[in-house]
Amino acid sequence: MSFQAPKGTFDWMPPRSEWALAVRDALSAPARRAGYGYIETPAFEDTRLFSRGVGESTDIVTKEMYTFEDKGGRSITLRPEGTASVVRAVIEHGLPGGPLPVKLWYSGSYYRYERAQKGRYRHFSQVGAEALGGEDPALDAELIVLAVDGYAGLGLRNVRLLLNSLGCRECRPAYRAALQEFLRGLDLDEPTRQRIEINPLRVLDDKRPDVQSQLADAPLVTDHLCGACKAYHEEVRGLLSDVGVSYTDDPRLVRGLDYYTRTTFEFVHDGLGAQSAVGGGGRYDGLSEMIGGPPLPSVGWALGVDRTVLAMEAEGLLTERPGTMDVFAVPLGEEARRRVFTLVAELRRAGLSVDMAFGGRGVKGAMKAADRSGARYALILGDRDLEAGAAQLKDLTTAEQTAVPIAEVVDILKGKFS
């Protein structure tokens, strides 16, 4: 019997898997530099955390969650997103009682029973960042800038930022009423009509062409913002402009989660087809209270690792293998193999990335392996070299080869990479 990965999932295999690691590192690096600490939460939670926090009317809760009963009779759900878990952890561990805002970043796997297609998987990876306990336009702008810098660090040029405001609990009711009145006059199926009464903003997020075609004249949330929300949104926009971040105002952007308030944003890449969103986020000032916590105004984002890799592929950025070797060692003979093994260990402990040829390969096969590794140098040592006390160091870029004393190999190679 032969097993395969479950439908809607895939395996990350080298060298593509190395790009996934590079993406995680690049997307999280700006947040780490900005003082965001790492948090790791369980891959599964109490189902009620997501039904209350994400929203009972969302597709995630109604259609896409992997929910099961554990052996203790508890309803458990594999996490479909990261924010609710982070807020739960902050409340549980009493962090709101300390200095605010609490700044956290995370990386992990998430699970949704999606209709499997390229760029939309049932098991996917994200990098996220959250600033909890601060109601400040500068926090919203900071997080957006950190994401922009993460994409730029990967060399991506065609990621676009869409920006909107969803208002607050003061001005949202008037917009909700106007939107419901408009939607009730459309030709919609019964499930969508039910959604109008529960959360009409979800209808705006409906991707079906027959629904979208009827929404051209729908009222805009930006026309119903209160004075405070208008001022807040203008400050976010101004701060982004001050640091040179380009964005497009999208008054129909609502995202797919119920907890968003005020600032909401999405990063899209036009080279991905229908699944163009590579990341997004926004402010969620009421989420803590939804799940039984204290008032904790917060803002954050999640950036997709899988889709970011696809975006890099669309821009032709996956031509080189990331994380290549510094040195590839080639032993020729049994005694040389033992000495090379020791040298490899010493070089690794010195901070270099080093691999070696295994299995008694000949020179030709070993050098092919060196070329495939992407190493800058090949360190070649045979039994005759041992007698002479010198190894052969070959620059795989220029093909220049020189003899170096075995006792100085580590220091010489460290010097080349310092």
pLDDT per position as a tens digit, 41-67: 999 999 999 988 777 666 777 788 999
Mean pLDDT of 385-414: 94
Percent of the chain whose predicted confidence (pLDDT) is above 90 = 69
Mean pLDDT, rounded, of the chain: 92
pTM: 0.89
74: left (phi over 0), alpha (psi -120 to 50) or beta: beta
Superfamily for domain range 327-416: Anticodon-binding domain (3.40.50.800)
Confidence (pLDDT) at 173: 86
What pLDDT digit, counting tens, does each position of 254-285 carry? 876 667 899 999 999 998 877 799 999 999 99
**Lateral strand order in the sheet of 390-395:** 354-356, 327-332, 377-382, 390-395, 401-405
Give, as one character, the DSSP assignment of residue 218: P
How far is residue 224's CA from residue 186's CA, in Å, rounded to a whole number? 21
Confidence (pLDDT) at 207: 78
Confidence (pLDDT) at 311: 96
Buried b vs exposed e over 277-316: b needs ≥16 C-beta within 10 Å? bbbbbbbbbbbbebbebeebbbbbbbbbbbbbbbbbebbe
Q: Where in the chain is the domain with CATH 3.40.50.800?
A: 327-416
Beta strands in 22-122 (DSSP E): 37-38, 44-46, 67-69, 75-78, 102-111
Radius of gyration of the chain (CA): 27
Helix (H) or strand (E) run with residue 265 in it: strand 261-269
Confidence (pLDDT) at 312: 96
pLDDT at 215 > cutoff 80? yes
| CATH domain 16-171+225-314 topology | BirA Bifunctional Protein; domain 2 (3.30.930)
Mean pLDDT of 272-300: 92
How far is residue 135's CA from residue 287's CA, in Å, rounded to a whole number? 13
Range from 144-153, 352-361, 409-418 carrying the lowest mean pLDDT? 352-361
Q: Where in the chain is the domain with CATH 3.30.930.10?
A: 16-171+225-314
Candidates 158, 106, 99; CA nearest to 134 is 99
How far is residue 382's CA from residue 371's CA, in Å, rounded to a whole number? 19
Mean pLDDT of 164-175: 91
What pLDDT digit, counting tens, does each position of 62-113 carry? 788 999 999 999 999 999 999 999 999 999 999 888 899 999 999 999 999 9
pLDDT at 378 > cutoff 80? yes
pLDDT tier for residue 231 given thresholds of 50, 70 and 90: very high
Q: Which residue reads 């010198």 in tokens?
A: 390
What pLDDT digit, counting tens, does each position of 312-333 carry? 999 999 977 776 789 999 999 8
**Main-chain phi, psi angles of 352, to 5 degrees:** -95, 150
Burial label, 205 (beta-carbon count in 10 A; 0-12, 13-18, 19+) = middle
